[in-house]
Structure 1
């Protein structure tokens, strides 16, 4: 039957494979192999000068680790059981920081003397991965392996995958000259999370008279901090002296008797339980490594990064509202401008034609239509044509100005928005025919008849008057008066006929100008309406194009936002399932450690 811890470890490996964490897969495979060989690895850690190496020497009763102020450990030393004493320097293969740095077999192995191994390794630490030392010791025969490590200067550096998470237990070394420092408390907090079993070894009690008070203060601080670590005061000097003298009482006084019993009882005597706890630690650490990025991704997925797109979508809506208001404004403005233009054009046309009529009236005060009519007709046609051209040009110029003015409101970024339909059509080139009014000819017979009628009246009036003087009715005086009256009648008749001709000419000219005003006025209004419609249609087309462009852009942005929301929802569900699966796996790993509550917190002071 497969052990429960092995199932949890294998499930964790599969989870790491699923999340593409090959580094964790390799590390967990190595840890699985270690746990199956039933060897108990005990890591000896601590700051510099705390007596780590001397502790290892005292435990195995052999000077396997260099000690002294000038012999700080720089290369990890693995002390394990062997039938005969041996030491091997294992060269660094460039992967010493990997998951199995202390156990990976490498080609370059150099045998050295046991007592000189660590001293020699300390002289070239950059080229070595570790030191393997074998000793025939009863303490080590049960599968115990002691690993002396370089001093810890930064507790935060102890993380997966380093040597610490591969240990089944850890001895945190601190001397009894003072209480645990903040750095050592940080180290303990890290070690408790990374190792299933932790012992705090208080060294150098032979040099500190009040070591019991220090030990008790340390136990209190560990209990208050929720750090499940046992404090064991020891003296390596007394232990080595007891070993040389074979003094059991001195050995007990050194504290190493309790330390060795603790190692046998809690480690070697509980290999299977410790393997499960170690598997739980390894699985928990790996799962935590997987959970952190998943939770970050889940939080990022829930917090949509569509603020810019949403703002652009809202801005498109506001742009449509502005466009609608602008459309109403420019249509009103165009209608007002066209109404003003038509009024001005009509007034200009009326004013110019009235000026022509005044000139016509003045002209026919003296001119005889019968004599000057062809010349007058040409003059009137030319003037009316000039009026039409000037008025039409002014009309089109004003429309051009209106179009550009409205265009700046409709499409301020487009330099040319004038419609192609706005053509500068010339006014009608054909004017109606100006017919000469009917003029009665004042011929010789009419003159004779008018003269005779006037002469008769003069002859009769003066003849009767002269009869009173005794003269006959027809006499020289009456004949002269008749001749004078006849001539006056002819002259007056000729003047009257001229005035009638002038009046008829003026009437004909007025009628002709009125006909021109009506005809051209109709053409001008039709032209204004056509151009107005062309401008309105063109500007409406531009506004509609902009509206369609904005609507399409808003629709595309909304589709992106909706698609992103759907994708984020699906991604969030997928991440949530992964988080739930890993959380369940983490609870299973935590159960292997034998803990029912939360993991112990880290002390920082």
Structure 2
């Protein structure tokens, strides 16, 4: 097996191993073309450069339209045939199990080749890949095929020419340009691009018969190509002289046209395709493929060494952030619970005090209007009911505030855990009204009958004495009707005053008893409320501490799993990096062999003896 074929096969297997079936498929196509003894030369050039005339002069036949006629829209492949023939090659619609797209060859009368001129949109000429022409020529019988490409569109020449070369399966390139001017920047760029894929390229300077200064242009173009590093050979040609020599049989004129050198070069290239062109083509193709593979591997190696942001690393960072956030949440909810409890104690105590004060004010008003000795039973029932209502309202609000406090503290935790609140109701909240004891009847002063008699005698004595002395000045005795009447009046007033004073003392005594009772109730209820709040604080603190611990364990477990995944990922990346390095070493070995294989394999062009005048 030739060295170049062995290198091509090993490179193809490397592409398959590195999961690049597209490159492997391209190399297999190149292998098939290089093993084919036929040499397919792509003739490329811009419009009006003499490309069609060059092909016609080589074959001494009018195959391609030349002159002022527009160039063809599709490429034309001219190869050997026993008789003149023409076919249209179209791509067959792909089927699901087709490994490669197939082609259909449709016969076409030779005289209808003119229908392929640009501007002809008639069926079945649409969608053609290329036209294939067979001619009985000795130059073609040796295995040469000439491919006239459509004129290059310089707005985007590279994809167009590359696509035509791939479709027509070209082996090398014959670039056509006028000798009346130097190569343009676009032509140099296109030649540089083609030189990376096609060895043995030739640049033909046409129309030397119309360019007196073609030698200077030839030297200048050779210098510019050398500076650009484009491996091509230059030939100066005149298709007009070639065709005239063919008509007249003038061998000297034929030599002066320069075409014998091109014919010799093409025949030598056909004969040396396997020994010269194929190794050079394999060297170029494999180097291009190996550079592509190496670039992808180096990029992957860089990613593997940097570590990147793998899913495992992202999960580890997320777990670490979650653990730090959980610590902050634990601090926040503890502060929040303490603040809420402090505010709740103050608010509940103030609410209870305001409710009991309101009851106390209403009790004082009722005691001022009624005698406690007579209305005490109804008053005591009213006071007990009012205090029970105040206790029930205060403890009901306390229960709502505890629920609100739990909800506000739960908001410090992640979403989804706020609903996990303890369901409990302290007994003191349910039994708050029963904690209000009934009011005991105070001991109050009562005005008895003997006290009334004694008070009346004491008051009447003063009246009798006062008015008896006054009437005694008038000569009346001390005891007289006037003094007795005054004594009776003063006795009644003394009894009324004493009764009123006794009532006020009873009212004062009742108010003091009510005040003491309300204070006792407030103290007891306030103590109960604080006990409930402390109990709620302990329950919530235990609940949220347990919830924090559950979250912490979950985050720690997630971090541990992520850390293990990061370690495993690092081991996988390290193993992959070592494997990539080995693959790069293997690619470097193949690249070295490709470089050595392509060195010195350029297809030589015989030197011209004498340029045409």
Normalised TM-score (structure 2):
0.70
**Could you report, residue by residue, the CA deviation over 1:351-379 in whole angstroms, capped at 9, with x for unpaired residues?**
45765886698689xx5xxxx64632441
Q: Aligned-pair RMSD on alpha carbons? A: 5.7
Question: Superposed, which structure 2 residues align to 1:27-106 within 5 Å?
Answer: 27-70=26-69, 72-81=71-80, 85-94=82-91
User: 1:327 aligns to what?
Assistant: 333
CA distance 1:205–1:593, shift in 2 (3 Å): same
1:260 aligned onto 2:226: no
2:597 corresponds to 1:592: yes
Provide, for residues 269-302 of structure 1, a one-character-per-residue CA deviation record: whole Å limited to 9, x for no partner: 4631321222233434555666677777777886
Query: For residue 425 of structure 2, what is the aligned residue in structure 1?
Result: 421
Q: 1:420 to 1:495 in 2, by over 3 A?
A: same
1:522 matched to 2:524: yes
- For residues 99-118 of structure 1, the aligned pairs below 5 Å read 108=105, 110=107, 118=113
Q: 1:234 to 1:553 in 2, by over 3 A?
A: farther
User: What's the secondary structure of 2:434's corresponding residue?
Assistant: coil
1:501–1:55 CA distance, 2 compared to 1 (3 A): closer
Per mean C-alpha deviation after superposition, the further-off stretch among 392-401 and 416-425 is 416-425
SS, match of residue 49 in structure 2 = coil
Q: Does 1:143 align with 2:166?
A: no
The corresponding residue for 2:467 is none
TM-aligned CA deviation for residue 564 of structure 1: 8.6
Structure 1 residues 198-207 or 221-230, which shifts more?
221-230
Higher alpha-carbon deviation: 203-212 or 425-434: 425-434
Change beyond 3 A, Cα 1:416–1:593: closer
Q: CA deviation at 1:234?
A: 1.1
TM-score by length of 1: 0.70
Inter-CA distance 533–162: structure 2 relative to 1 (3 Å threshold)? farther
Q: Deviations over 1:122-179 (max 9, x none)?
A: 4775356331424342x44543333322222232213479438943321111111211
User: How far 1:442 sits from its partner (Å)?
Assistant: 6.3
1:105, 1:437 → 2: CA distance? 123
The CA distance in 2 between the partners of 1:409 and 1:347, in whole Å, is: 27
Partner-residue secondary structure (3-state), 1:93:
strand
Report the CA distance shift for 1:533/1:275 in structure 2 as closer, same or farther (over 3 A). same
Give the Cα separation in 1 of the matches to 2:448 and 2:40: 151
Q: Could you tell me whether the CA contact under 8 Å between 1:42 and 1:145 is conserved in 2?
A: yes
Instruction: Quote the Cα distance in structure 2 between the aligned partners of 1:315 and 1:325.
Output: 16
Alpha carbons 1:175, 1:203 under 8 Å: kept: yes
Question: Which of 274, 278, 281 matches 1:278?
Answer: 281
Equivalent position of 1:386 in the other structure: 386
Q: How far apart are residue 200 of structure 1 and its match?
A: 0.8
Structure-1 separation of matches of 2:366 and 2:114: 134
Uncovered stretches (5+) of structure 1, i.e. residues with no partner: 98-102, 455-475, 478-484, 597-605
Give the Å deviation of 1:108: 3.8
Residue of structure 1 in register with 2:188 after alignment: 185
- Match for residue 482 of structure 1? none
Change (3 A) 1:291 1:120: farther
| CA displacement 1:300-358 (0-9 Å, x = unmatched) | 88654879989977875785466445424422431331232254246437745765886
Residue 131 (str. 1) matches residue 136 (str. 2): no
Aligned length: 560
Question: Secondary structure of 2:196's partner?
Answer: helix
Query: CA distance change for structure 1 residues 296 and 9 in 2, over 3 Å: closer, same or farther?
Result: same
Call closer, same or farther: CA 1:170–1:354 in 2, change over 3 Å. Answer: closer
Match of 1:468 in 2: none
Q: CA, structure 1 residues 117+291, in 2 after alignment: closer, same or farther (shift >3 Å)?
A: farther
Task: Please state how far the C-alpha of 1:206 moved relative to its aligned partner.
Answer: 0.6
Distance 1:146 1:276 in 2: 21
**Shift in CA distance, 44/558, structure 1 to aligned 2, threshold 3 Å:** farther
Residues 7-26 of structure 1: pairs in structure 2 closer than 5 A: 7-18=6-17, 24-26=23-25
